[in-house]
Every structure is written in C-alpha cells, then in structure tokens.
Amino acid sequence: MDRTPSHFHKPVLCNQVVNALNPQKGEIAVDATFGAGGYSMALLDTPIEKLYGIDLDPEAVMIGQRLSRQTNGRFKVLSGNFSMMDKLLDQPLAEMGRLKVDCIAMDLGVSSMQIDQAERGFSFKQDGPLDMRMSQQGQSAADIVNTASEGELADLFSTYGEEPRSKRIARSIIQKRKIRPIQRTLELARIIRSIYSDRRSKKDPATRVFQALRIAVNTELKSLRKGLAAAERILSAGGRIAIVTFHSLEDRIVKQFFKERTHSFHPEEGYITSGSRHRPEPKPATDTTLIGPSFLNPAKIIRPGAEELADNPRARSAKLRSAVRTEAKPHQPSIHAPR
C-alpha cells in the first residue's frame, strides 16, 4: 500500500498550528514529529525556505524521503528522536550557514498512521502483535507485560495511565500469563475489560493501560522533556514553537516547561519568581549570572472546534500550546559539544 501523506487525514489543529508558527519567507522550520507528514505538507504551503522533518519510525522516514523527492530540496527528513533535534540539525544547519531555526511544530503521542496499522500493536480495537515500538527496535509491550512483576505493572499503569484499577489489572495479567504468554493486543484488551464488567463510561477500559505501555516502551515523557530543552536551544530569538498534546501527563510537562521558562533563571538559585508576603522574592547571587526568561508568555490554550471533532473524534483531548523564544540564553545548556 502506498502510504504517502495524501492518504492520511489532516492532522489535529493543523491550521491553528500553522497560524501559531506564522512561517515567513526565508525562514527554517522543523516538524519535530513528522509522522505521516500532515503538518509538513501544510508548512510547505507557506513561504518558508527550508523544512526539516524528524521521526524515529522507519515507515515515517520512508514517507519523508518520498516527500523530499517531490519538493526540490525544500524538505529533508532526518531519522532520529526529536529529543535530539539540536544534534540532528547541527550539520544540516551548518551546511546552510545557519545556527538556529525559526519554527518548531511538535505533535506528541502516537500517530494515526501507527494506530491504524494493526500489525504495529498500538490499537486495542484491532488484533495484532503486542508491540507498540515506534522505532521498531528494542523492548516491546509484550516484553513488559510478560516479564514485569505485579508491582511494576501496577505502578506503570497507575503512573503512565492514571489507571484507578491498576492493581487488579496487574494481578489478572500475572494470572493469565502463567497459563501462556500474552502476545496479542485483543488478548490484553479482553483481560482489562474483564476488570471493568461493571463499566458505565463510553471510554474503552483498555485506553489507559495501552497508553501506559506505549509511553513506557517509547520512553515518551523522558523524550518530551529532552525535546523541549532541545527546542529551547535550537530556536532563534523571535522563533515560534507550537505543541499539540493528547493527554494530561504530556500536557502537564509542556505547561510546566513554559511556566518555568517565562521566568528568569539563576544557575545556583534556580527560577526567580515573584515573591509574596509569605515568601520574599529570592535574590540572585550576582545579576550578571541571571538568565532572563527564554520564552514570552505562552498563548492561550487552543482546542479543536465542533467541526473538527465531528470529523475526527480522536482530536477530542488535543490541546495546542505555543510561545515565542526570546534572546535569552537557554536555561538548560546543550549536552553536545559546542558548535
């Protein structure tokens, strides 16, 4: 099957993301989570000079390579995790005589392309191998389900899925895998649903556990924290970033990142926030070492409208947060060697 970007639905909040990025002529943009290329296709319709797509999924990279051949050099796909975007972009930018980029789009979580392919193991609605590896390498969801202890599984489901019945689900998994290993998505989904035989909610009970396993398999939250810091380092002064989240865990990280980065930072005393009568404002050791806010106050959260929700129910939990980079130094120095 030909899986070019034109075969996929328009990504969530696409117009709003492009508006938040406000791409201008001659600028360099980054689609940090390329996926099926929906945001990239929209950004290529703007007057930007160059667009880089980043993805660790080999199938997404193949889509990006086809798109690259169609754009006369305006687009290039880079294979890797967006958490390392500054390192991945180092050489391509140097070849252009540039050090920074002007726009960064980040669409977090699993893509529709991955969910819709049963063989990738992300969906609890289709039967497939219990895989969930975006990179198609390393530990799979089945490995975790069949080797982790009951306590480890319960903690994972509670922490990454906010699952209220995590202990009961973990106990049931342990009992079932004693009979035979749990290898299929629908097999795991049935185990979870059996714990919710009394359910009244329309939300499938398997949602939270599958989310937790996917996050664990792909170390998504760790990658997100590193990716935000990398974006801070690579964005030019006046550069824009737009981030779409799909669940509270990742949205909380993005919200906290912007909350911190809109305050000044001192290497020894941390973030300098406004004081109160109960807690006086901390004084930096020396003003010369104080780093100003690295982002301006983030824009108001944008959610999908009724028309988009009717067309794409998967968008119901999406939130868009965006902000503008200042001239201040990054608050988290690069882990890579200086350019």
Residues in the chain: 339
92: pLDDT confidence band, cut at 50, 70 and 90?
very high
Predicted confidence band of residue 319 (pLDDT cuts 50, 70, 90):
very high
pLDDT tens digit string along 26-49? Answer: 999 999 999 999 999 999 999 999
Of the candidates 73, 63, 72, the one whose C-alpha atom is nearest the C-alpha of residue 39 is: 63
The pLDDT value given to residue 8: 47
The residues with which 245 forms a beta bridge, in sequence order, are: 319
Calculate ∠ Cα 314-131-39, nearest 5°: 40
Q: What's the pTM value of the predicted model, to 2 decimals?
A: 0.89
**What are the C-alpha distances in Å from 240 to residues 11, 27, 173, 261?**
19, 11, 45, 14
* Type of residue numbered 88: L
Find how far residue 230's CA is from the centre of its chain.
13
State which CATH number among 1.10.150.170, 3.40.50.970, 2.40.170.20, 3.30.1300.10 fits the domain covering 136-217: 1.10.150.170
Separation of alpha carbons 10 and 8, rounded Å? 7
Does residue 335 surpass a pLDDT of 60?
no
- Residue 242 predicted with pLDDT over 70: yes
The amino acid at residue 309 is: L
17, HSE (Cβ side, Cα atoms, 13 Å): 29
CATH T-level topology, domain 5-112+220-324: Rossmann fold (3.40.50)
d(CA 136, CA 61): 12
Q: What is the mean pLDDT of residues 205-227?
A: 96
What is the predicted pLDDT for the residue at 83? 97
CA atoms of 184 and 73, how far apart (whole Å): 42
Mean pLDDT of the 13-36 span: 97
* Residue 9: per-residue pLDDT: 57
pLDDT digits (tens, 9 = 90+) for 97-124: 999 999 999 999 777 777 878 888 889 9
At 288, is the pLDDT very low, low, confident or very high (cuts 50, 70, 90)? low
Distance CA 19, CA 42 (A): 11
State the pLDDT at residue 300: 94
3-state secondary structure string across the chain: CCCCHHHCCCCCCHHHHHHHHCCCCCCEEEECCCCCCHHHHHHCCCCCCEEEEEECCHHHHHHHHHHHHCCCCCEEEEECCHHHHHHHHHHHHHHHCCCCEEEEEEECCCCHHHHHCHHHCCCCCCCCECCCCCCCCCCCHHHHHHHCCHHHHHHHHHHHHCCCCHHHHHHHHHHHHHHCCCCEHHHHHHHHHHHCCCCCCCCCCHHHHHHHHHHHHCCHHHHHHHHHHHHHHHEEEEEEEEEEECCHHHHHHHHHHHHHHCCEEECCCEEECCCCCCCCCCCCCCHHHCECCCECCCCCCECCCHHHHHHCHHHHHCEEEEEEECCCCCCCCCCCCCC
In the chain, domain spans: 5-112+220-324, 136-217
Average pLDDT score, the chain? 90
Average pLDDT on 302-308 reads 94
**132 and 217 Cβ atoms separated by less than 8 Å:** yes
Q: What does the pLDDT look like over 62-84, one tens digit per residue?
A: 999 999 999 988 999 999 999 99
pLDDT of residue 333: 61
Alpha-carbon 140 to chain mean position: 19
Joined together, the tokens standing for residue 240 give 């824009």
